[in-house]
A and B are shown apart, each in its own frame.
Chain A
Amino acid sequence: MTANHELPASTRDCRESVLHDVKRIVAEQVGTPPDGILAEHRLEEDLGCDSLMLVEITMELEEHFDISIPDEQAEYTRRIGDIVDGVLRLLEG
């Protein structure tokens, strides 16, 4: 388990922390620096992900955050910011 984020007190800090980790995981898959990834970026259109990369990113997120992302959620969440929201919901859930 590589989970190294601790949930800070404020929700905003928490969101920042999750966004940071999501960017790192996506960056690793697409082979681009994490700093170049923005919350409004879409995985396929803006970052060039193919369907296999989408699955691998989902599985990495599940392992990193110790959550289980339903296929339907993963299949239709494309924007980085929306992925962060989805992860936060599952972490709170």
Chain B
Amino acid sequence: MNATKRLSIDCRRVELDGSRYVILRESLFTEICRRAGVEPDAPAEGPLEASLDLDRVSLAQKLARRRRAVGLTQSELARRAGIRPETLNRIERGRTTPDFATIRKLVVAINAAEDEKVASESSSTSTAHPQETSHDGKP
């Protein structure tokens, strides 16, 4: 076994109830423990509940980040997506787990806003800021 091979640490950082956590593949975690010569404790009970919480938090953070990136307020995005502003507020605070259809409505609305933003930026940068590089969205 080649213990000197450099490990590529592919992980995600999340915040849950005020504490920072790192999520990484179990096989990678096992390899890190092996190299460090430590034996991890057995996993705590209730992994399902924890994963649901993490999913809510991860969704909340990503949606809020993407909404701000396209310059929409919560109420504006809610209106465009056709959901209640209170619902979006609860989603972004990680208080509720939206169903697939609701997330899809939000993604569609954010993508549309992104397209509008790219279109308006490319028309204004060509005249107002000729030196600025434009931020290309997905085609």
- Which residues of chain A have a CB within 8 Å of any CB of chain B? 31-32, 44, 48, 50-52, 54-56, 58-59, 71, 74-75
Q: What's the Cα separation between A50 and B58 when bound, in Å? A: 7
Count A-B pairs with CB separation below 8 Å.
Answer: 43
Interface size grouping (class) on chain B: 20 to 34
Distance from A15 Cβ to chain B, minimum over Cβ atoms (Å): 25
On whether the beta carbons of B107 and A59 are closer than 8 Å, the reply is yes
Query: Within 8 Å of chain A (Cβ to Cβ): is B128?
Result: no
Q: Which residues of A contact B118 (CB under 8 A)?
A: none
Of the A-B pairs whose beta carbons lie under 8 Å apart in the complex, a sample of 24, sorted by A's number, is: A31-B10, A32-B10, A48-B23, A48-B25, A50-B58, A50-B59, A51-B55, A51-B59, A51-B97, A51-B103, A52-B58, A52-B59, A52-B63, A52-B103, A52-B107, A54-B103, A55-B100, A58-B104, A59-B104, A59-B107, A59-B108, A71-B99, A74-B100, A75-B100
